């Protein structure tokens, strides 16, 4: 099942394939760093940083038309702001990371 919403892609990019390719490329370049920051923040139990990363990541996810990951990131952001125990945030962050790797594969296939 695709993580990318094709209808949303049309809404964002219409027929501007060059811009879509550029945005996909930027996401592909930046996502590994974001994953690393999530992992470090989880290890350091830094809920404020986790909330901030999730908020920022949601903007990036919008440009690649990925509502499923956006929803996970939104839940992480909200729960981190509410100081939900880090043990409860951990599975959501791990899911976000796992699905981000799948999204990266999907985005790379769009660039070929």
Mean pLDDT of the 54-59 span: 96
Contact criterion met (CB below 8 Å) for 72 and 92: yes
State the average pLDDT over residues 52-78.
Answer: 96
pLDDT band at 88 (very low <50, low <70, confident <90, very high): very high
Length of the chain counted residue by residue: 112
Give yes or no for a contact between 41 and 99, defined as CB atoms under 8 angstroms apart.
no
Quote the pLDDT of residue 50.
97
Domains belonging to the chain, first-starting first, are 20-111 (1.20.120.160)
pLDDT score recorded for residue 111: 81
pTM for the whole structure: 0.92
């Amino acid at each position: 099942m695709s993580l990318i919403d094709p209808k949303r892609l049309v809404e964002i990019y219409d027929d501007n394939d060059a811009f879509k390719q550029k945005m996909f490329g930027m996401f592909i370049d930046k996502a590994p760093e974001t994953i690393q920051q999530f992992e470090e923040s989880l290890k350091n139990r830094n809920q404020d940083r986790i909330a901030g990363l999730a908020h920022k990541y949601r903007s990036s996810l919008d440009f690649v038309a990925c509502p499923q990951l956006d929803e996970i990131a939104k839940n992480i952001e909200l729960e981190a702001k509410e100081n939900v125990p880090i043990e409860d945030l951990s599975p959501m962050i791990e899911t976000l990371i796992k699905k981000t790797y799948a999204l990266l594969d999907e985005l790379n296939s769009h660039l070929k």
